[in-house]
A and B are shown apart, each in its own frame.
Chain A
């Protein structure tokens, strides 16, 4: 088989396979290829880690329940080797994992997909408050009793009902210059602000409970739950953010747990830790409705990136864009004939631009590389060996980056803080290469290659941030086969580069 035929065969079969899977997903399974009417689906992943000590382990985690304005789409548990049950306790549903003889570090995953659906879900009303233990001021030590009583009386004068009472009390604790009473309670109460406020409310016979939840917003990893207070006024529960005072039920606040129990309880193991990650994806409404059906009948969807834990899914959102960046590099270099400094440096720079925004990113890149070149030109006169020189340049890059961050933070330019997203090893090599180029070929070549790299980076940035590209990259990862086919085909392109049409123009005249 000739090489040409092999290349054709490979590219054809790759592209065919890719397009076939896309056709199957779009045509048969009904997944829309173009993003149209959409709803945000949030996948919240909980990751519980602990270390087994060769003893039976029982892990119990609070589970969220349907709530006003937010629907639960699906739940998923990954816990190999552990028994799993769900239990209903008086403070709510809990997930329970159990296993005998657990050794070494373990990780349990639980994930839940929710989406906002205002008006459609009516919570089972009334949400009856559970029996609250009666507490009175006399539970407090003598020294604090009067202080607390005075504070409560004072707040009572300033309030009209239960809600304004709670809001005023929280405000007192949040004041920039807290009153003497608040200071004493905080200093001597032996509890944190949260505990003291709820205790004070209970003294007033106000039903109060602690809840944990998270804001459904952009993708985040490794986040902790936000604690909040809920106060019952006889008809409904009202949410209070301890930092802000009263909150009118934030639409995007998802309550994970009600009640006083802790979010996780681990018995029989050490170093237990829970962290949450959040992942947003746009899903067409019709897909939402049929999702459960679809997964049952199509193994191809069950074997997709959506089956991964949420934090890994977020990583793949970025990784899957890189091939499109590479495609831009291949196009601009093989067809365009642009010269860049380092083959994939532009893609990495473009990835950094995605975090820093284009304009700020360009300015920071030029500043870092420019300053680096000046310092490198001095290092060059010291005649250092290569490895030492690169390391020195890298350290200088880190210093420039931290200096830029500190200076701009003081000046109030927040964008510059994202400078940390630049890959510093790549920057150090870029500076080194440009500096050698400057010495050997002159400044002109530096501007040609530096400019070429930036042009490619900007094009790659636009390709990778284009919403359609990020949509198909994640929802149709099989298109990677098509990208691969195109790149293999371009690898056999033996025609002229656009730059050569300029270079050889004198020969046609």
Chain B
């Protein structure tokens, strides 16, 4: 029933209390939080630093702008609508095509213009933001995700979560949505987490609800055949977020676009602990190794270090 806490400690498993005190509390200065909590700010800063992100098409800040929504969307066939300060994938609307006056969602549902207006109005009034603060709605290009992931995802965008500690990519996992998770990539909602080898980008283990699985529950494909392309580029992209955000403990969510390659989707200043289960590895061991490294390494040096030291195959 219970794991022996001393065994867990020996394995270097990071617990919630230690994460809050020694990693989030010690490494992340609160004044930099707004940068990652607000996706609009993240995007602007990332673009300025030359980091690839999905292109921002429209921002809507006032209810009055909704009257012109039809014109704003006129040239867009597919797009993603999201609240700038939403969390946990709340309030995100994915439109994959238009038929006449209707907008088609990823799951096939048809929406009218006024449905989208109402969604945006909800976003602006703060329905999805922390504490109900008034928010901004952003419309960005739909990521056409790499066909390599089609086999491992059900009605959603699979993303790669990389934990970046002091600028070193430390651990990675692919989060695959399932029918149970309703197209969302959150593990506690039933998405599958696949641990990824830091050296090769190949899959290690897969877990759903904390329990090992071998195949995707909906598409039935074997996870062991999975290998993520552009691996070094993905790690470089993740590591470079350290300089931009000044956050020493960071979760970076990356998607692979068919044409544009890896793009930063979102940053998280309080990344979760489930990634350890998907990698069957305690994170503290790796953090301790990083703590011994000099602080002034370049992005390339850090990525090289991580690939050489944290490989498992």
Give A residues with C-beta under 8 Å from B.
Answer: 334, 337, 383, 385-387, 440-442, 492-498, 500-508
Contacts and interface: CB of A to CB of B under 8 A. Distances in A.
A505 B3 CA distance: 5
Q: Give the interface size class of chain B.
A: 20 to 34
A33 to B, nearest CB: 33
A250 to B, nearest CB: 57
Given A386-B125, A501-B2, 7 more contacts: A386-B126, A386-B132, A441-B189, A497-B17, A505-B1, A506-B277, A507-B280
A387 B122 CA distance: 13
Contacts of B13: 496, 504, 507
Contacts of A495: 5, 15, 17-18
A186 B118 CA distance: 71
Contacts of A503: 210, 277
A386 B134 CA distance: 11
A506 B211 contact: yes
B211 A494 contact: no
B21 A492 contact: yes
A343 to B, nearest CB: 14
Contact of A502 (B1, B11, B207, B280): B1
A486 to B, nearest CB: 15
A296 to B, nearest CB: 49
A507 B5 CA distance: 11
A345 to B, nearest CB: 16
Given A507-B280, A508-B4, A383 B118 contact: yes
Contacts of A383: 118, 122
B1 A500 contact: no
Contacts of B297: none
Nearest first, the 5 closest Cβ-Cβ pairs linking A and B are A494-B18, A505-B3, A386-B132, A496-B15, A501-B2
A287 to B, nearest CB: 43
A385 B16 contact: no
A503 B13 CA distance: 11
Given A386-B132, A497-B16, A505 B21 contact: no
Given A504-B276, A506-B277, A494 B21 contact: yes
A494 B17 contact: yes
A386 B210 CA distance: 35
Contacts of B125: 385-386
A347 B122 CA distance: 33
A501 B3 contact: yes
B11 A500 contact: no
A507 B276 contact: yes
12 contacts: A386-B127, A442-B189, A494-B15, A494-B18, A494-B22, A501-B4, A501-B8, A502-B1, A502-B3, A503-B210, A507-B276, A507-B280
B294 interface: no
B50 interface: no
A496 B5 contact: yes
Given A386-B126, A386-B132, A508 B8 contact: yes
Contact of B15 (A442, A497, A502): A497
A500 B118 contact: no
Nearest to B13: A504
Contacts of B55: none
B100 interface: no
B311 interface: no
B7 interface: yes
A4 to B, nearest CB: 10
Nearest to B4: A508
Contacts of A498: 2
A497 B273 CA distance: 13
Nearest to A337: B16
Contacts of A441: 188-189
Nearest to A386: B132
Contacts of A508: 3-4, 7-8, 11
A507 B21 contact: no
Nearest to B1: A502
B70 interface: no
A488 to B, nearest CB: 13
A366 B13 CA distance: 38
A508 to B, nearest CB: 5
B212 interface: yes
B248 to A, nearest CB: 16
Contacts of B3: 501-502, 504-505, 507-508
Contacts of B118: 383
User: Interface centre among B5, B9, B118, by most A CB within 10 Å?
Assistant: B5
B258 interface: no
A503 B16 CA distance: 11
A506 B16 contact: no
Contacts of B4: 501, 508
Contacts of B122: 383
Interface in B166-218: 188-189, 207, 210-212
B90 A440 contact: yes
B88 interface: yes
Contacts of B276: 504, 507
A506 B210 contact: yes
Nearest to B89: A440
A334 B19 CA distance: 12
B17 A496 contact: yes
Contacts of A500: 8, 15-16
B291 to A, nearest CB: 15
B212 A506 contact: yes
A493 B282 CA distance: 19
Nearest to B2: A501
A329 B8 CA distance: 25
B280 to A, nearest CB: 6
A504 B8 contact: yes
A440 B2 CA distance: 29
A387 B189 CA distance: 28
User: Interface centre among B15, B88, B210, by most A CB within 10 Å?
Assistant: B15
Contacts of B18: 494-495
Interface string B261-278: 000000000000000110
A392 to B, nearest CB: 15
Interface string B123-140: 001110000100000000
Nearest to B127: A386
Nearest to A441: B189
Contact of A501 (B5, B88, B188, B280): B5
Contacts of A334: 17
A507 B13 CA distance: 9
Contacts of B2: 498, 501-502, 505
A469 B93 CA distance: 53
Interface string B12-49: 01011110011000000000000000000000000000
Nearest to B131: A386
A386 B132 CA distance: 7
A209 B234 CA distance: 96
